[in-house]
Structure 1
Amino acid sequence: MKTSLSLLLIVGCVFVSSITKAQQTGTWLKDGEPGNPLFRNQVGFTVGTQGLGAEVGIPLSTRFNLRLGASLLPWETTEISKFNSSRDYKTDIDVDVMNLRAMLDWQPFPTAGGFFNRMALSVGGAYFYKAKGTAKAQLTENYVYGDLVFTPEEVGVVTGSADWTGWAPYAGLGWHNIRIVDTFNIGFDLGAFYLGKPDVKMGATNMLSGNDVRNEPILRDNLKDYKWLPNFSINLKFNY
């Protein structure tokens, strides 16, 4: 918590100093369309692989830009599958991702044509307050063994989770401030967050107890290479 508060204070200081510097900067690099530099003071919404979010942009100079944002991705689904090709079981999947992020954009081709003039390289990072996926599996019908009949609840439930909560660096590229009409514009980002190895846990109840102990190392090994979170987002913003 103290680390998070320190980050927010630092970001706040950068935010204030950035606005001051932007106000003092009177000369912008043009791309052939007067009054339309790549980086402007902006506020808007984002939608993509991180879910829905909001973002503000503060130009630091003609070629550097700071973006601060947050995204939320809650997602739930239920799948029905076969166990041993004979019995149906359902799996409830719950994914919950939320992050706060800061990005520094750099315009590499300020004198290029329109397509490359709108391009920027980005580096930064995010703190994922939530980045967890959970799966819960249970039979959908009674289990019959000879003359014995067991309900799905008596058989038990198997759960598994993978948690990537924490800090994640980011690198990518994007196209920004593509004018739609007046001061409204669209942009795109493509990159990836490095999350590292997830914290994997399994659990099992009733007759399935013990399966978690045997299968947790297998699940951990299967997920050890899932360290990257791809990011593709569409940004709708307003210049002010």
Structure 2
Amino acid sequence: MKKQTVCIVIGLLCLLSVRGQRLSSTKVENPISPSLGILVGTAGGGLEFYQPFGNQFGIQAGFSLMPFDTQIIGTYGQHETRSQVRARLHNVHILFDWAPFYKASGFFRHLIINAGGGYFMQAKGYIQTTLNESYFYGDIEVPYYLIGEVNTRINWNETIAPYLGLALTDIWIDNRFGLDFGLGGYYLSAPSVQLTGTKLLEYNQANGPIIERNIRNYRFLPQLQLGVNYRFKLKY
């Protein structure tokens, strides 16, 4: 029994030794592999191409599309409102990658600092707001569909927005596939606002500059992403 135990211990030590040699041989390799990935997250979905340079640098280029539609029930004073919200945030981007811990083992080896920029072909939002109930002027009931609607258009200029973030890149699933996790954000241009109204709300456009001043600092677009990439070169 003791002899079997000794054999098992020696075998485990040999396996750990082989594993340690394998890790040491990969410490100087770039943790990023030439690959193509699919990404989904808070800023939409898209494709990403990864290309390493040297031991700890790389570049990634791709595009992201975010069509967003929702409905919001809110209040204006004592009245319930219904808002149809649409947003379109589409970009192409190039990011430069730096792996500061490329000599480490485990997850730290795949920690990447991203910096670069994206060009937003579209960066705009549209809100259509109506009352969700009738309005009473004294004893007179005015049905909500006779009151009209307020349309708000928000537009970030089509320009290049800088990006900064962190990522865990190319975490092995197998020899061909890896996982990617990203956290960062774009800094957009200051938005412009156009406000129009219909029927009884026709003259609400005077509130447009007020809304524009209130949201002029809403320029940070956060991005949390999860992706799967396919390596062009086998890893062992």
Equivalent of 1:136, from 109, 125, 128?
128
Distance, in Å, in 1 between the alignment partners of 2:42 and 2:24 is 33
Distance, in Å, in 2 between the alignment partners of 1:226 and 1:31 is 45
Equivalent of 2:114, from 114, 122, 132?
122
Distance, in Å, in 1 between the alignment partners of 2:44 and 2:161 is 17
Give the match's secondary structure for 1:216: helix
Distance, in Å, in 2 between the alignment partners of 1:239 and 1:170 is 25
Q: Per the alignment, do residues 66 and 48 of structure 1 end up closer, same or farther by CA in structure 2, a change over 3 Å counting? A: same
The residue type equivalent to 1:116 in the other structure is: F
Q: Which residue pairs with 1:94 in the alignment?
A: 86
| Higher CA-based Rg | 2
Unaligned runs of 5+ in 2: 1-21
**Offset at residue 38 of structure 1 (A):** 0.7
Kept in 1, the 8 Å contact 2:118–2:161? The answer is: yes
Kept in 1, the 8 Å contact 2:30–2:56? The answer is: no
Kept in 1, the 8 Å contact 2:66–2:88? The answer is: yes
Q: Which residue pairs with 2:55 in the alignment?
A: 62
Number of residue-to-residue matches in the alignment: 209
The residue type equivalent to 2:90 in the other structure is: M
Runs of 4+ in 1 over 6 A off after TM superposition: none
Q: Per the alignment, do residues 204 and 175 of structure 1 end up closer, same or farther by CA in structure 2, a change over 3 Å counting? A: same
Q: For 1:66-77, what aligned pairs fall within 5 Å after superposition? A: 66-77=59-70
Kept in 2, the 8 Å contact 1:31–1:114? The answer is: no
Deviations 1:167-221 (A, max 9, x none): 10111121111101221110111111110211111111121122221x2122112
**Offset at residue 237 of structure 1 (A):** 0.4
Distance, in Å, in 1 between the alignment partners of 2:23 and 2:205 is 59
What TM-score, normalized by structure 1, do the two folds share? Answer: 0.79
Q: Which residue pairs with 2:104 in the alignment?
A: 112
Distance, in Å, in 1 between the alignment partners of 2:34 and 2:101 is 20
What TM-score, normalized by structure 2, do the two folds share? Answer: 0.80
Q: Per the alignment, do residues 63 and 163 of structure 1 end up closer, same or farther by CA in structure 2, a change over 3 Å counting? A: same
Give the match's secondary structure for 2:146: helix
RMSD over aligned CA atoms reads 2.2
Kept in 2, the 8 Å contact 1:31–1:110? The answer is: no
Q: For 1:110-189, what aligned pairs fall within 5 Å after superposition? A: 110-145=102-137, 150-164=142-156, 165-189=158-182
The residue type equivalent to 1:220 in the other structure is: E
Identity %: 31
